[in-house]
Amino acid sequence: MSRKWERMVEKNQQKLYKQRQKQGKSTSLTSSSIEQTKRYLGRTWMLPLFLIGFSLCFTVLFYDFYEGDASYWFISIAYFLLGVFIYLVRRPSLTIGKKFVMSRRFAGDKRVEAGDIQEITLLKGYVIIQFKGRMSRWVFSKFMHRMPIEEIAEELKEFAKRNGVTLNDTPSVKS
């Protein structure tokens, strides 16, 4: 193998390692080191409903004033399509690994190691993950996020037991 080819392979491997590290995956590409994770997807509905409702109200209320204006139609259609896009594509998620939890936030996926979790609270229809330090807590609700809270609660119980995280469980959550 030529030296130029080796440098190119090494450069591409470094890019791949950096990309995998940003995604929260292990940098090793062997199948034996892949961690088993559980990923739960929900469905956000309040922001899309607001955007679609705003689009419809804007269209109905201001039709007489702006019917000939092209930007009026662009704004109406853009808000509607943005609402549909957020509903279909931007789904809330919670990934539970052996030693970490990861969730989709506005700025991207956030990964938190088990040592940085202060406590996990399980309520009927809610899961609250409280962190050490200044990081805000994560709240997942059955109503707002349309997630399977009972399954998540079971998985988080095992996660807390495995990693020594404080678990506050209420009797109203199915066990």
Find the helix or strand (DSSP H, E) in which 93 lies: strand 93-96
74 three-state secondary structure: helix
Model's pTM, two decimal places?
A: 0.69
pLDDT tens figures, 71-125: 888 989 999 999 999 999 988 999 999 999 999 887 788 999 999 999 999 999 9
Q: Structural domain boundaries of the chain?
A: 35-43+92-169, 46-88
Q: Does domain 35-43+92-169 bear CATH number 2.30.29.30? A: yes
Q: Is 40 left (phi over 0), alpha (psi -120 to 50) or beta?
A: beta
User: At residue 169, what are phi and psi to the nearest 5 degrees?
Assistant: -115, 135
Q: The tokens 């409280």 sit on which residue? A: 130
Q: CA-to-CA distance for 98 and 73, rounded, in angstroms?
A: 50
